[in-house]
Structure 1
Amino acid sequence: MPEGHSVHRIARQFDRNFVGHRLSAVSPQGRFAEGAALIDGCTATSVRAVGKQMFLEFDETFWLRVHLGMYGAWDFAGEILTDPTIASANGRMGQTNQRGTEVAETVMDTAGENSLSSIGAPRRARVRVRMSEQTKGLADEESEQWPPPPVGQVRLRLLTDRTCADLRGPTACAIQTPDEVATVIDKLGPDPLVDDVAEGEDRFTQVVLRKPTPIGLLLMDQSVISGIGNVYRAELLFRAQQNPHTPGREVRDDVVRGIWRDWVRMLAVGVETGQMMTMDDLDPDSYRRAMASRDDRHWVYHRAGLPCRVCGTAIVMEQAAGRKLYWCPRCQA
């Protein structure tokens, strides 16, 4: 499932390429025909991401709410104006990891996780990247037909005169009023990129410390904290050396606050790089490997049965509320 960093990257991509433009909209699949007809001919006036949900406003009147869920993705084609604050696939040089190790070249993820052309479930899409309004980048792959023909089950297609966005497989795709959007957002936990960071820390800590629910489940509860999914959950808990089964109310206050602060930092790295980089203090070669491959990027996630990178104990994988939970029974005892 796309986690919070991906949704914020999508929102920034829409901000640069769609907000301020009058859009054409169709539903090639047919399942969102009524909503597409309402959007068609309207101007995108703002966009925001909160946790795992994105909200795109039209004519300052109504909103499109999208939750990608497990399998959803936005595929982009045409010319894409890139966000200068975002590294990796846009060709920006001199990325840095969490502790400041400089890498001289852009490092692409082999699975396409940091792609500009498909954000969400990895897919291949046609794209011509523009580094700025004045400078054109090289085409990754360019369609001879504009707009490119829809491929697969496209729920919604949004078009400007130069950029195409295709939405596939979302859990939620709905037209909402401003009041309905406010109601949805009010039910979500704090997001470090939306809420005041200090207030978000206090709010998150207060909720966790009164809950009997295991901390490993609380981190996945979007009403407690926004944007964390299975990968970040496992990695945050390992980095905190926290047993995932400990009830929230039994976790120390300083540990809960440390998890929030770590999430603030890792979310920022994820938005910049497009990858869930959760390991620190890597030398340049190790950093390149980690940026290129998830297997070299995480402490415990997807490492069931492999030795812990710290203590050598076999990493455990178990089911928790229907999702896979990875943790080290020694480091997190």
Structure 2
Amino acid sequence: MPEGHSVHRIARQFARNFVGRTVHLSSPQGRFAVGAALLDGHVMTDARAVGKQMFLQFDHGLWLRVHLGMYGAWDFAGDILMDATIASANGRMGQTNQRGTDVASAVVDSAGENSMHSIGAPRRTRVRMAEQEKEIDQPGTFPPEPVGQVRVRLLTDTVSADLRGPTACEVLDPAEVQAVIDKAGPDPQLDASTAAEDRFTAVVRRKPTPIGLLLMDQSVVSGIGNVYRAELLFRARVNPYAPGKTLREDTVRGLWRDWAHLLRIGVETGQMMTMDDLDGDAWRSAMKNRADRHWVYKREGLPCRVCGTHITLAEMGARKLYYCPRCQA
């Protein structure tokens, strides 16, 4: 399932390529025909992510809410304006380091981020954005023919976006959007304030629920999935089975701050890079290979990078849980 960094990156693609433009919506699959008709022909005015959910606003006040779930993905095609980070030698998006872009003389766009202007964008391309981001062959005509079961297509005169396999795709009014957001836990990409940290800390420290479950509860904190859960807990040396109410306040606050830190790296690079103390060749290797950028995730049976104890694989909340039984005792 795409974690918070992926959804924020997708929202930024919509902000660059669709906001301020008239958008035509259709449902090639047919399942979203009524919803598409409600939004068709209107100007997109906002694009935002809240944890694992994305919201697209239109000029008549209605919103499109999308949750990709386990299998959802967006395909962008056309003359796409993108981050410089999307240009990659290995087909993955996110070839930057945490200190900034590798692209020489990169410019900063109006959102304060490096853009493809630095390497000659916009350009005609196709990009799939989900948990695994990659460029795919661009067909010769625009817009391309829909591929697979496309729930909804958003189309401007230069760019298209096709959505397949979402858990949720619905039209909401402003009150309904606010109700959904109010139920979500804080997202440090949207609110890095002390108040947001306090809210997270207070909720965790009054719960008897294991912290490994609390971090995956989107009403407690937004955006954390299975990868970030395992890595955050290892980085903090916290036992995933420890009840939230037994954790020290400074430990819980540290989890929040580390989540804000790792989420920022993920949004900037497109990778869930959790070994963030790497440099040079080690950094480049980790950007290319997932096995080189995580402390415990998918390393069951391998020696802990810190103590040498074999990483344990268990199940928690119907998801795989990875941890070091010694470092996180």
Q: Sort the Cα spacing of 1:44 and 1:227 in 2 relative to 1 into closer, same or farther, 3 A.
A: same
Structure 2: 5+ residue stretches without partners: 107-124
CA drift at 1:294: 0.8
Work out which of the residue numbers 245, 251, 260 in structure 1 matches 2:247: 251
Contact 1:102-1:284 within 8 A present in 2 as well:
no
One-letter amino acid matched to 1:96: N
One-letter amino acid matched to 1:279: M
Q: Does 1:183 align with 2:179?
A: yes
Q: Does 1:122 align with 2:132?
A: yes
Q: Distance in 1 between matches of 2:201 and 2:127?
A: 37
Q: Sort the Cα spacing of 1:260 and 1:123 in 2 relative to 1 into closer, same or farther, 3 A.
A: closer
Work out which of the residue numbers 142, 152, 156 in structure 2 matches 1:156: 152
Q: Sort the Cα spacing of 1:54 and 1:40 in 2 relative to 1 into closer, same or farther, 3 A.
A: same
- Count of matched residue pairs: 306
Q: Distance in 1 between matches of 2:183 and 2:37?
A: 29
Contact 1:74-1:119 within 8 A present in 2 as well:
yes
One-letter amino acid matched to 2:321: L
Is the deviation greater in 266-275 or in 35-44? 35-44
Q: Distance in 2 between matches of 1:276 and 1:36?
A: 33
Q: Sort the Cα spacing of 1:263 and 1:173 in 2 relative to 1 into closer, same or farther, 3 A.
A: same
Backbone CA RMSD of aligned residues: 2.2
CA drift at 1:116: 7.8
CA drift at 1:47: 1.2
User: Helix, strand or coil: the match of 1:78?
Assistant: strand
Q: Does 1:202 align with 2:198?
A: yes
Residue number in structure 2 paired with 1:88: 85
Q: Distance in 2 between matches of 1:93 and 1:222?
A: 26
Matches within 5 A, 1:29-108: 29-83=29-83, 88-90=85-87, 95-97=96-98, 100=99
Q: Does 1:217 align with 2:213?
A: yes
User: Helix, strand or coil: the match of 2:171?
Assistant: strand
Q: Does 1:319 align with 2:319?
A: no
Q: Distance in 1 between matches of 2:103 and 2:234?
A: 30
Residue number in structure 1 paired with 2:117: none
Q: Sort the Cα spacing of 1:183 and 1:225 in 2 relative to 1 into closer, same or farther, 3 A.
A: same
The normalised TM-score by structure 2 is: 0.88
The normalised TM-score by structure 1 is: 0.87
Q: Sort the Cα spacing of 1:191 and 1:147 in 2 relative to 1 into closer, same or farther, 3 A.
A: same
Work out which of the residue numbers 262, 268, 274 in structure 1 matches 2:264: 268
Residue number in structure 1 paired with 2:13: 13
Structure 1: 5+ residue stretches without partners: 107-114, 127-140
User: Helix, strand or coil: the match of 1:325?
Assistant: strand
Residue number in structure 2 paired with 1:112: none
Q: Distance in 1 between matches of 2:39 and 2:102?
A: 42
Contact 2:39-2:62 within 8 A present in 1 as well:
no
Contact 2:126-2:135 within 8 A present in 1 as well:
no
Contact 1:101-1:282 within 8 A present in 2 as well:
no
CA drift at 1:142: 3.0
Q: Distance in 1 between matches of 2:321 and 2:197?
A: 24
Q: Does 1:287 align with 2:283?
A: yes
Contact 1:214-1:245 within 8 A present in 2 as well:
yes
One-letter amino acid matched to 1:117: V
Is the deviation greater in 233-242 or in 55-64? 55-64
Q: Sort the Cα spacing of 1:254 and 1:218 in 2 relative to 1 into closer, same or farther, 3 A.
A: same
Matches within 5 A, 1:162-177: 162-177=158-173
User: Helix, strand or coil: the match of 2:271?
Assistant: coil
Q: Distance in 1 between matches of 2:200 and 2:94?
A: 36
Contact 1:76-1:163 within 8 A present in 2 as well:
yes
Residue number in structure 1 paired with 2:120: none
Contact 1:190-1:204 within 8 A present in 2 as well:
yes
Aligned sequence identity (%)? 64
Q: Distance in 1 between matches of 2:230 and 2:138?
A: 38
One-letter amino acid matched to 1:142: Q
CA drift at 1:104: 7.3
Q: Distance in 1 between matches of 2:77 and 2:85?
A: 18
Q: Distance in 1 between matches of 2:286 and 2:9?
A: 20
Q: Distance in 2 between matches of 1:41 and 1:102?
A: 36
